[in-house]
Amino acid sequence: MPATDLDQVVNLCKRRGYVYPSAEIYGGFRSTYDYGPLGALMLRNIREAWIHSMVQMRDDVVLIDAAVLGPPQIWEASGHLANFTDPLVDCTNCKTRWRLDKLDDPNTCPNCGKQGTFTEPRQFNLMFKTHAGPIEDEGAVAYLRPETAQGMFVNFSNVLNSTRRKPPFGIAQVGKSFRNEITPQNWIFRTREFEQMEMEYFVPPADSLKWYEYWCTERMNWYLDLGVPADMLRLRAHDPDELSHYSSGTSDVEFRFPWGWDEAEGIAQRGDYDLTQHSIHSGEKLDYFDQATNERYKPYVIEPAVGVTRLFALFLLAAYDEDVVNDETRTVLRLHPRLAPYKVAVLPLSKKDTLTPLAQQVRKQLSQRYMVDYDETQAIGRRYRRQDEIGTPLCVTIDFDSLDDGAVTIRDRDTTEQVRVPIESLLGEVGSRLGF
Ligand code: GAP
């Protein structure tokens, strides 16, 4: 049964090395987080699962990696300097600060309960401003990107020229984005520093709706393929008053978080908004010339955009489970094997030196292909429990018989079923159980 209690997952993450509060020895730093040894591996797996589906398995999408720091011109053109704002109100009674559009009741302070104590809303720009170079004057102003998307638009011609693509084609990117959120909340769900995976899919304008529907379906299936239960997911179209300044239609993939349905990912129809804006502001053409029809046009854009760190919370919440094995309650993360930090744990039955050389040999063999954990301390039952709790799909146990018969035991995380296999067929057996 997936978790409904966020604290259980947060505690597990802290205890086992998935996520730590940042700068903790100094009392923490305003809802920023550090990803520990398991967290760093899982972040990498989430990125790889996305790149695998969005780039590797397709022949129409390329990957780029653009700069985080950018000049004001980009954000002037994209509309972020003027429009990327949230309405901020202060409670004059208890001095707390709120995002007006996120309040259930826009008159009552959720903290002190008083009515009519809010200041007039002020529009607060969410971009982090800094200076590039040693002189802090207007000419040196730079911004940390609030979305990776603009990297794809400003490189549209570069990619077109260097790859000879033609619409429909996509440019994808994975990387950090920064937003000075007024109310970061719900652990890593909304933070000021986060990571995004976005893909701008450029299509002939007449085909835009067809591709929008295609990407909505495609993206929903990605979650299902990675083991997220269907009843925890839904696709919700935005009301017109929710749309971003660039969008003519957006649907969110929503997940049933412990606090209710909330956005995991947005799939937006950006039309030719961005290419037109950058074309006006830069003086570059930024369009596509179709030699077959002799036509020049600005492609429309469909954009699936998701946060890596938000997905991290989503996958852990969906995977968290408790069940009873041999009259004992265990915590188990039923993570999809592609997402699990370690795919296999190699566990010599005893710490005796006699087993170590063979166990290390097995570890090395499996490590050629998979991220492997090695653990030789404590009773075997406790070690299984530890691996269940961090989501390792398979444990391989080396016992004293292994020295004679050259076979080891594979234990499955979800069923706890055990089978004995010869070491020479271990790699193949592990591969077929993991599915890759
Ligand atoms: N380029 C479009 C764009 O950035 P968005 O809906 O603002 O659209 C896309 O962001 C995704 O990025 C969101 O669906 C969410 O998964 C993630 N995201 C946005 N702001 C975030 C934040 N402050 N913390 C964590 N993830 C965030």
- Domain assignment present for residue 336? The answer is no
- Residue 378's pLDDT is 92
- Domain assignment present for residue 107? The answer is no
What are 149's two structure tokens? 């998307």
How many structural domains is the chain composed of? 2
- Residue 37's pLDDT is 98
- Taking CA atoms only, the protein residue closest to ligand 1 atom 7 is 147
Residues 305 and 361 in one domain: no
- Domain assignment present for residue 362? The answer is yes
Q: How close is the Cα of 65 to the center of ligand 1, in Å?
A: 18
- Domain assignment present for residue 232? The answer is yes
Contact residues for 81 (Cβ-Cβ < 8 A; gap 6+): 72, 75, 125, 127
Determine if ligand 1 sits within 6 Å of the CB of residue 274. no
- Residue 207's pLDDT is 97
- Taking CA atoms only, the protein residue closest to ligand 1 atom 4 is 147
Determine if ligand 1 sits within 6 Å of the CB of residue 198. yes
The dihedral over CA atoms of 97, 102, 105, 111, expressed in degrees to the nearest 10, equals -40
Residues 346 and 236 in one domain: no
Residues 289 and 391 in one domain: no
Q: Which domain holds residue 370?
A: 342-434
- Residue 244's pLDDT is 82
What is the CATH classification number for the domain harbouring 409?
Answer: 3.40.50.800
Determine if ligand 1 sits within 6 Å of the CB of residue 195. no
Determine if ligand 1 sits within 6 Å of the CB of residue 179. yes
Residues 220 and 358 in one domain: no
Q: How close is the Cα of 333 to the center of ligand 1, in Å?
A: 25
Per-residue confidence in pLDDT tens, the chain, 436 aa: 455 689 999 999 999 999 999 999 999 998 899 999 999 999 999 999 999 999 999 999 999 999 999 999 999 999 999 999 999 999 999 999 999 988 989 999 999 999 999 999 999 999 999 999 999 999 999 999 999 999 999 999 999 999 999 999 999 999 999 999 988 889 999 999 999 999 999 999 999 999 999 999 999 999 999 999 999 999 999 998 888 888 889 999 999 999 999 999 999 999 999 999 999 999 999 999 999 999 999 999 999 999 999 999 999 999 999 999 889 999 999 999 999 999 999 999 998 889 999 999 999 999 999 999 999 999 999 999 999 999 999 999 999 999 999 999 999 999 999 999 999 999 999 999 999 9
CA dist., res. 96 & res. 182, Å (int): 11
C-alpha closest to that of 193 among 259, 144, 124, 244? 144
- Residue 241's pLDDT is 87
Residues 148 and 217 in one domain: yes
C-alpha closest to that of 34 among 50, 17, 15? 17
In the Cβ-directed half-sphere of 128, how many Cα atoms lie within 13 Å?
A: 16
- Residue 325's pLDDT is 87
Backbone angles phi, psi at 8, to 5 degrees: -60, -45
Q: How close is the Cα of 304 to the center of ligand 1, in Å?
A: 11
Residues 170 and 249 in one domain: yes
- Domain assignment present for residue 59? The answer is yes
Residues 308 and 352 in one domain: no
Residues 347 and 255 in one domain: no
Residues 310 and 351 in one domain: no
User: Which among 30, 148, 194 is the best mutation to test ligand 1's pocket, defined by most ligand atoms within 8 Å of the CB?
Assistant: 194
C-alpha closest to that of 247 among 274, 225, 223? 274
Rg of the chain (C-alpha set): 25
- Domain assignment present for residue 254? The answer is yes
CA dist., res. 324 & res. 327, Å (int): 6
- Domain assignment present for residue 145? The answer is yes
Residue 299's SS3 state is coil
- Residue 4's pLDDT is 63
Residues 312 and 350 in one domain: no
- Domain assignment present for residue 329? The answer is no
C-alpha closest to that of 196 among 103, 37, 311, 49? 311
| Boundary-marking domain end, from 299, 316, 333 | 316
Residues 189 and 285 in one domain: yes
User: Which among 177, 196, 201, 245 is the best mutation to test ligand 1's pocket, defined by most ligand atoms within 8 Å of the CB?
Assistant: 196
